[in-house]
Amino acid sequence: MNFLFVGGGAAIGAICRYDLSQYIKRRLNNGFPWATLAVNLLGTILLGILAARLNVQANFYLFAGIGFCGGFTTFSTMTYEAITLWRQQSKGKALIYLSLTVVLGVICFMTAFKLFNV
């Protein structure tokens, strides 16, 4: 039964990621992967909030934490975009992108966790 919660959340998360990414790309299409960066940072904020509220029902965490946040964020696209930048001789952009993703991701998670850990 747990797979239904995870799968349902993942499907909704992936659809939301796609829609939000397309929206951002239409507005900021300048060769830098802003859409994936924004989606991944938003996902870490959401997961930080959920982690701060670990007393949420197990099924809700399966749906929202593992499913939705897992389907919403994307390590594979981030990797693909970084490698693409690197191969296009934009090594600096690739390193900035990876650094921003990791550093801001941790900061976003910890900030959300601290703000909602009441």
Looking from the CA of 18 toward its CB, the CA atoms found within 13 Å total 7
Q: Is 73 annotated as a binding residue?
A: yes
Please state, in angstroms and rounded to a whole number, the distance separating the CA atoms of residues 115 and 60. Answer: 20
CA 54 to chain centre: 19
Which position has the token pair 């994307």? 74
Provide the H-helix boundaries in the chain.
Answer: 2-27, 34-52, 58-61, 69-72, 75-87, 91-116
- Please give the single-letter amino acid code of residue 65: G
Q: Is 111 annotated as a binding residue?
A: no
Binding residues for Na(+): 70, 73
Binding residues: 70, 73
